[in-house]
């Protein structure tokens, strides 16, 4: 039996390596499974299911990052839940003028690895405690626990990406440091068990995605820095 390159690509997405942050959860669940089988077999099988889910949840598949000047890619997998204009988080000191914002909601079955949306350098990092309301709601951007990141782009403009905890999520992981040079599509962290990621674009830049559209982190182009105008609309067909 032979596999085509397309088949291999599909299997790489399903049988993806586990992100290092997920191994403690996988190992813990596996230990529960072993102990469970020794105590009561049904408990052991429950541990097996939890181990399988943790392995799936923390999967880290490779992505094909589009090349080209000025492209902004989705920082996470998920559904485009918000396209509007909003003021960036105050802690990033990016001013009080509303700018285009694209919000992505991640459910527990989405890949939760976060990726850098555009080439640049880290100009600011700010963590803020908050609530854990449903991340699909617009108020989650303001009320929930979050990690905000300000990127300085090559053309002198700024872009922000914000990791937002959700109803179930209780841990935001961000591996960036101030002044670090970053590249589009690079991994920079994750949010455990359901969340949201917002991108604040430079003023006037038009989002190239529509509400309800599915985004693939590191691959889906959500904006081009040289393209201005109104946001796109879409319909289900």
Cα separations in angstroms, 4 against 15, 17, 37, 42, 93: 16, 21, 40, 39, 50
- Provide long-range contacts, Cβ within 8 A and 24+ apart, for 81-86: 81/105, 81/136, 81/196, 81/211, 82/138, 82/141, 82/198, 82/211, 83/207, 83/209, 83/210, 83/211, 83/231, 86/141, 86/200
The string of pLDDT tens digits covering residues 26-52 is 899 899 899 998 999 888 899 999 999
195 has catalytic annotation: yes
Correct CATH for 71-228 of 2.70.70, 3.30.70, 2.60.40, 1.10.287: 2.70.70
Of 100, 66, 91, 64, residue with least CA distance to 209: 100
Contact 75, 199 (CB under 8 A): yes
Catalytic one of 2, 141, 152, 195: 195
The string of pLDDT tens digits covering residues 164-206 is 986 655 578 999 999 999 999 999 999 876 689 999 999 999 9
Position 111 scores a pLDDT of 92
């Amino acid at each position: 039996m032979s596999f085509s390159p397309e088949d291999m690509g599909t299997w790489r997405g399903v049988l993806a390596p586990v992100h290092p942050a997920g191994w403690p959860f996988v190992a813990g669940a596996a230990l529960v499974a072993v102990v469970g089988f020794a105590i009561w077999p049904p408990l052991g099988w429950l541990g097996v299911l939890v181990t399988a889910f943790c392995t799936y949840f923390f999967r880290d598949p490779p992505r094909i990052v589009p090349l080209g000047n000025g492209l902004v890619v989705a920082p996470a997998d998920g559904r485009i839940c918000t396209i509007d204009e909003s003021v960036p988080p105050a802690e990033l000191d990016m001013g009080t003028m509303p700018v285009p914002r694209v919000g992505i909601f991640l459910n527990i079955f989405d890949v939760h690895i976060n990726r850098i949306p555009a080439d640049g350098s880290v100009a600011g990092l700010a963590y803020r405690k908050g609530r854990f309301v449903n991340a699909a709601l617009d108020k989650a951007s303001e009320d929930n626990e979050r990690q905000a990141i300000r990127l300085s782009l090559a053309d002198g403009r700024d872009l922000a990406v914000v990791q937002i905890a959700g109803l179930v999520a209780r841990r935001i992981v961000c591996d960036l440091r101030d002044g670090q040079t970053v590249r589009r599509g690079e991994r920079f962290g994750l949010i455990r068990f359901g969340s949201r990621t917002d991108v604040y674009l430079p003023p006037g830049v038009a989002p190239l995605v529509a509400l309800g559209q599915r985004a693939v982190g590191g691959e889906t182009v959500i904006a081009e820095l040289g393209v201005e105008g109104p946001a796109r609309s879409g319909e289900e067909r």
